[in-house]
Chains A and B, each alone.
Chain A
Amino acid sequence: MSKAAYEKPTIIKIESSMSKGGVPKLQQKIRMHIDGIKITDLTKEYGSPLFVFSETTMRRQYQKAYKAFSSRYPNVQFGWSYKTNYLKAICAVFHDEGSIAEVVSEFEYEKARANGIEGKDIIYNGPYKPYDSLLIAAREGAKIHIDTFDEIHDLERVAQELDMIIPVAIRMNMDTGIYPQWSRFGFNIESGQALDAVRRIEVGGKLKLTGLHSHIGTFMLDANAYKMQTTKMIQMMKEIEKTTDFIIEYLDIGGGFASQSALKGVYQPPEVIVPSIDDYAEAITSALYENLEPGNYPKLYLETGRHLIDEAGYLISTVVANKSLPDGRRSYIVDAGVNLLYTAFWYNFKIESVQEHKGLMEPAIINGPLCMNIDVIDESIMLPRLDRYDNLVISPVGAYSVTQWMQFIRYRPQVVMIGLEGEVDLIREGEDLSDVERREVMPERLER
């Protein structure tokens, strides 16, 4: 065993005004297993950094959410929000549970089709849907949610080209009492724009309005906003059915349910402020029962993504170096940075070590491996003194991380899923140079 390198001692005052009886001893956060699989075994086998997904958690979250809604309102359909996480294996689990697909681009549409999802089981959202993709989606019977007047125009051309009446829904935005109000997607209700869009569709005679969609925001901490949203959508539905021949077959209330992740700048922990899925379900279904004509209940679509997957995802990283900063804080450099965790800009993750360490907790900063000043995973965390090559488990990282990650400076790592029986499957291989260069074309004149 080699002798530990010498390091200059520092004294830091750990401030706390919690109690006169002394500072309560901070608990070390330890996680040795994920779904019964030892984390060090995982890194030994698959390397580090490593994304780990728990199939058990995904299914449990889905079933809980489905039950919360279906036991209150039976006509419920979940649509898996592809942008949250579109790894094939992840999609497969949610489709297996009964979700259809919710996509927001032609790329995601193709992905859903490649996953074996039929057009009719795809909800096609998004502010930009290229003409050719609309053509395909209309032909395959997808649920197209119109975002702009220009898109109405495009779809009418598609209808003409295909010689068919295309069933569509419109996306709407509205004031639900939350700030900021999302107004850039779809047609505004309060200004009368949404109704104008409906009339425009009716006059065009090429499209058939069968659904209403709206998505009021993301990481919504107020369940009541959904009640307001649902109420306004039903009022709209009634107005449309009264003044036109359209029959609204479904209401899509989008996604945005929060997960157990801690937003930066929010003081309380998620356990305190994040509503439960039952709270969301209660708010939405009570609005349905209060406002709909009894017995005439449209289908309810939900595009829940984050809430179903976030807690199922872990990122295992390794401390590759450590040093002390001039202000006395400890800096740990880990092998996973904002290249893998774009979401680190707005979340404070839970960071756990895989074994207990001796010694007092001290202020530390966790930096990523990028040669960029902004590469910070956590800028203020209390940790015991960690050793080089210790593992840290960062969670929840199931949502958006493996879709928003970048191949920047480093390769993207392996992704594994732990199955219901504890089987560990590689669901995405780590990248190498060939992946990065595969699309590159070298002009001959520059070859050497």
Chain B
Amino acid sequence: MKNKLLKELQNYTAGILSAYSEIFFLHGIRVGAALLVLSFFNFNVAISGLLSVIVVLTFAKFIHMESDFIRSGFYVYNPLLVGMSIGFLFKITFISAILITLSALLTFLLTIVLFALFSRSALPILSLPFTFVSSMVYLASLSYTSLFTSALYVHETPFIFDVLPLYISAYFTALGTILFMPNVFVGVMFALILFTQSRLIFFASLMGFYSGVFFHALLLGSFYTALSNPYSFNYILIAIALSMTFLVPSMRSVVIAIIGVAMSVLVIDASSAFWTIYKIPVFALPFNIVVIFLLYVLRSVKFSEIAYEIKTTPEKTLEYSIMSKKRFRSGEIALFLPFSGTWNVYQGFDDEWTHQGDWKYAYDFIITDDEAKSYKNSGDFLSDYYAYQKPVLSPVSAYVVETMSYLEDNQIGEVDNVQNWGNFIILQTLSGVFVELSHFAKDSIVLKRGDYVEVGQFLGLCGNSGYSPQPHIHIQVQESAYLGSKTVPFNFVSNIHNTSVKFYDRPQKNTTISAYFNDRALERKMSFILDSYFEYEVYIHALQQENMKISVGMDRLSGLFYLYDQAQNRLYFSKDAGMFYFYDYQGSWDDNLAKIYCAIPRFPLNTQKGLYWSDVVMSRAIEPTLINRYLNFGAMFSSKNYLIDGSWKFEDEKTISGILDTNENSKIRIELDDEQGFKRIDIGEFSFRKKGSKIL
């Protein structure tokens, strides 16, 4: 009972504090606590804000919302802002407390409603609920005479920090204004918090503020007026949101942010002229309008810098994005090879023959022999062709949306230019990707519309129907379910060229590539089950230093699996696409778990001797330097200093060797366990040797 209460209280506190950090696009309880303390610089504002947060959390509890929602702070920062905005106007009295309570609840509801509407287009709600409700409250309160007589809050400035010139103090004032404290001292403190939490956010706040003031001054003709504008905090929020949070930090994102800031000047001036008639402040309306408009457009054109995974700081978002682009070509559709064995790329993307125009993103595959011929004997008969009647396997897990299988295979020397596509299958994956395969042999397709196929499932046999001069497999990803619709780019999840494994690769024309199936024995070895754990002895320079326990955990919200150590660092892993791989690390890069990430970031689930592959790891886990540790925002311009290339190779079915391109050329050796996981991991001077385990 006591424990339960304590847990409740913890959830509450976490919810309150997270709400404070959310306002600055930050995460975490400590930042929230610092902001909460600072907010008491203006007691009235602080109490009003706190009151609204408590009201909302109590209400959420009352209607039995999940505690995870409460904890996150996501639904709470808008009511917090509303509470503060009321506290900025009225002193805390019984009547104003009622006003705060009602407005906070209204904001809370609006937050949930807007979230439901916006999330369909994957758009953030930002502080739109706050802007809306605050304006409403200000409008409504014009007629609440009792409030104005009893509780109007006359601001007195405790002490003025006017040692600074305006062009500096204006920035700090603007920062303070975000939490309704237009005060240089508070601004300086906020700036410090931003700087310690994220150099990138701090940089964006400066960049946003001064570029906004610059454009405003150009139009106004006065820097003084531009600097003194009370709504210039919008520039800061826009810059942070666009260049750091919703877009991955990069030069292109900065350009977008500056454009957004410049546009907001117009919105600020226009709306302040209009809003002033009704005596309401503009609040963060310009920020909301500009950011939401821009994001909507950028998302719809699939702007390359859109951050699909927003981490706790822009630095981490940047890191994650660089790694997933480099390692997984994220943002592009990846298919499995549609065949078994070794085939040759007959035509690639944008190729000379038929892969042109709307249909340029397609691959054709044939089988060739040592002399690069696709047929034996004279090649006059279909049966002379190696590809003819070979199985075509499903490149995705998907539903069959359309198929045809009755066309005759053309004899060699003839093509069917009426039914170009020949016998075909169109597949639709659960995520809405359409894949089309063509030129199947007559009557070989064993599926019908509505069937569900798994990756690697037999679809039919390679044939020569349609516009096909020789038996081959044609594969493309297209925009819709209709035959002949426009194609889109894609890559293949994995392929083997000689003994080199390429992941997320677009093989070149005339190269020979092989597909592989997962090795069942290896796959079983890498099937980590929740709550299993492994104990390792950690050696550094061959001296035993400590013990380490790695357990298997699952994220309750996302359902993703990870390994975690005693320090609760998390290393996320997955086993699909023909490989076992780690893809995300949350925790201290100095800890041993990060070394394991770097030792074996991924490997194919196929133990063919001599198979080799390359990958990249974060350099700061291996060679921590000042630059890659604290100045990691530099990766925004070039990721060179932050990544290390490595290559790995299967020595035999239990041993993988590798090397990282560091100054010392860190050598890696992995021994797979007979039962499960890793028996031994050596990287540089570190060695992890399995001591015991509990396998479920």
Residues in A lying within 8 Å of B, measured CB to CB: 67, 70-75, 118, 120, 210, 247-250, 282, 285, 289-290, 293-299
- Measured in the bound complex, the distance between the Cα atoms of B454 and A296 in whole Å is 10
- Measured in the bound complex, the distance between the Cα atoms of B519 and A317 in whole Å is 48
By a CB distance below 8 angstroms, the chain A residues around B521 are 210, 249
B411 located at the interface, meaning its Cβ lies under 8 Å from any Cβ of chain A in the complex:
no
Establish whether residues B457 and A71, one from each chain, have CB atoms under 8 Å apart when the complex forms: no
- Measured in the bound complex, the distance between the Cα atoms of B518 and A222 in whole Å is 31
- Measured in the bound complex, the distance between the Cα atoms of B518 and A297 in whole Å is 8
Closest A residue to B337 by beta carbon equals: A74
**29 pairs of residues in contact across A and B, judged by CB atoms under 8 Å:** A67-B341, A67-B342, A67-B386, A70-B340, A71-B339, A71-B341, A71-B343, A71-B367, A71-B390, A72-B341, A72-B390, A72-B391, A73-B340, A73-B391, A74-B341, A75-B516, A75-B517, A120-B653, A248-B520, A285-B391, A289-B457, A294-B453, A294-B457, A294-B458, A295-B454, A297-B456, A297-B517, A297-B520, A299-B520
Within 8 A of A (CB), among B381-413: 386, 389-391, 394, 397
By a CB distance below 8 angstroms, the chain B residues around A293 are 454
Nearest CB in chain B: distance from A211 CB, A = 10
Nearest CB in chain B: distance from A168 CB, A = 13
- Measured in the bound complex, the distance between the Cα atoms of B609 and A436 in whole Å is 42
By a CB distance below 8 angstroms, the chain A residues around B516 are 74-75
- Measured in the bound complex, the distance between the Cα atoms of B162 and A323 in whole Å is 130
By a CB distance below 8 angstroms, the chain B residues around A289 are 391, 457-458
Closest A residue to B462 by beta carbon equals: A71
Given contacts A74-B515, A295-B397, 7 further A-B contacts (CB under 8 A): A67-B341, A70-B342, A72-B341, A248-B520, A285-B391, A296-B520, A297-B518
Establish whether residues A250 and B520, one from each chain, have CB atoms under 8 Å apart when the complex forms: yes
Tell me which of A72, A120, A282 contacts B340 (CB under 8 A): A72
By a CB distance below 8 angstroms, the chain A residues around B449 are none
- Measured in the bound complex, the distance between the Cα atoms of B393 and A70 in whole Å is 13
Interface centre among B390, B515, B517 (most CB of A within 10 A): B517
- Measured in the bound complex, the distance between the Cα atoms of B42 and A282 in whole Å is 81
- Measured in the bound complex, the distance between the Cα atoms of B454 and A72 in whole Å is 17
By a CB distance below 8 angstroms, the chain A residues around B389 are 282
Establish whether residues A70 and B391, one from each chain, have CB atoms under 8 Å apart when the complex forms: no
B contacts with A, residue count (CB < 8 A)? 29
By a CB distance below 8 angstroms, the chain A residues around B390 are 71-72
By a CB distance below 8 angstroms, the chain B residues around A67 are 341-342, 386
Tell me which of B343, B455, B514, B520 contacts A247 (CB under 8 A): B520
- Measured in the bound complex, the distance between the Cα atoms of B517 and A247 in whole Å is 16
B30 located at the interface, meaning its Cβ lies under 8 Å from any Cβ of chain A in the complex:
no
Closest B residue to A69 by beta carbon equals: B341
A70/B456 contact (C-beta < 8 A), A75-B519, A289-B391 known: no
- Measured in the bound complex, the distance between the Cα atoms of B519 and A210 in whole Å is 12
Interface string of B496-514 (1 = CB under 8 A from A): 0000000000000000001
Nearest CB in chain B: distance from A167 CB, A = 9
Establish whether residues A294 and B524, one from each chain, have CB atoms under 8 Å apart when the complex forms: no
List 9 A-B pairs, minimum CB-CB distance, nearest first: A294-B457, A71-B341, A289-B458, A294-B454, A70-B341, A295-B456, A74-B340, A249-B520, A75-B517
By a CB distance below 8 angstroms, the chain B residues around A249 are 519-521, 524
Within 8 A of A (CB), among B356-395: 367, 386, 389-391, 394
- Measured in the bound complex, the distance between the Cα atoms of B457 and A130 in whole Å is 43
By a CB distance below 8 angstroms, the chain A residues around B652 are 118
Within 8 A of A (CB), among B340-354: 340-343
Nearest CB in chain B: distance from A227 CB, A = 14
By a CB distance below 8 angstroms, the chain B residues around A70 are 340-342, 514
Closest A residue to B453 by beta carbon equals: A294
Nearest CB in chain A: distance from B354 CB, A = 24
Closest B residue to A248 by beta carbon equals: B520
Interface string of B441-471 (1 = CB under 8 A from A): 0000000000001111110000000000000
- Measured in the bound complex, the distance between the Cα atoms of B653 and A247 in whole Å is 18
Closest A residue to B520 by beta carbon equals: A249
By a CB distance below 8 angstroms, the chain A residues around B515 are 74
Nearest CB in chain A: distance from B693 CB, A = 15
- Measured in the bound complex, the distance between the Cα atoms of B453 and A288 in whole Å is 16
Closest B residue to A210 by beta carbon equals: B521
By a CB distance below 8 angstroms, the chain A residues around B391 are 72-73, 285, 289
Interface string of B312-347 (1 = CB under 8 A from A): 000000000000000000000000000111110000
By a CB distance below 8 angstroms, the chain A residues around B453 are 294
Establish whether residues B457 and A295, one from each chain, have CB atoms under 8 Å apart when the complex forms: yes
Interface string of B511-537 (1 = CB under 8 A from A): 000111111110010000000000000
By a CB distance below 8 angstroms, the chain A residues around B518 are 297
Tell me which of B340, B342, B394, B520 contacts A294 (CB under 8 A): B394
Closest A residue to B343 by beta carbon equals: A71
By a CB distance below 8 angstroms, the chain B residues around A120 are 653
- Measured in the bound complex, the distance between the Cα atoms of B391 and A75 in whole Å is 14
Tell me which of A71, A75, A250, A282 contacts B386 (CB under 8 A): A71
Establish whether residues B517 and A294, one from each chain, have CB atoms under 8 Å apart when the complex forms: no
Nearest CB in chain B: distance from A95 CB, A = 12
By a CB distance below 8 angstroms, the chain A residues around B455 are 294-295
By a CB distance below 8 angstroms, the chain B residues around A247 are 520, 524
Interface centre among A67, A70, A210, A295 (most CB of B within 10 A): A295
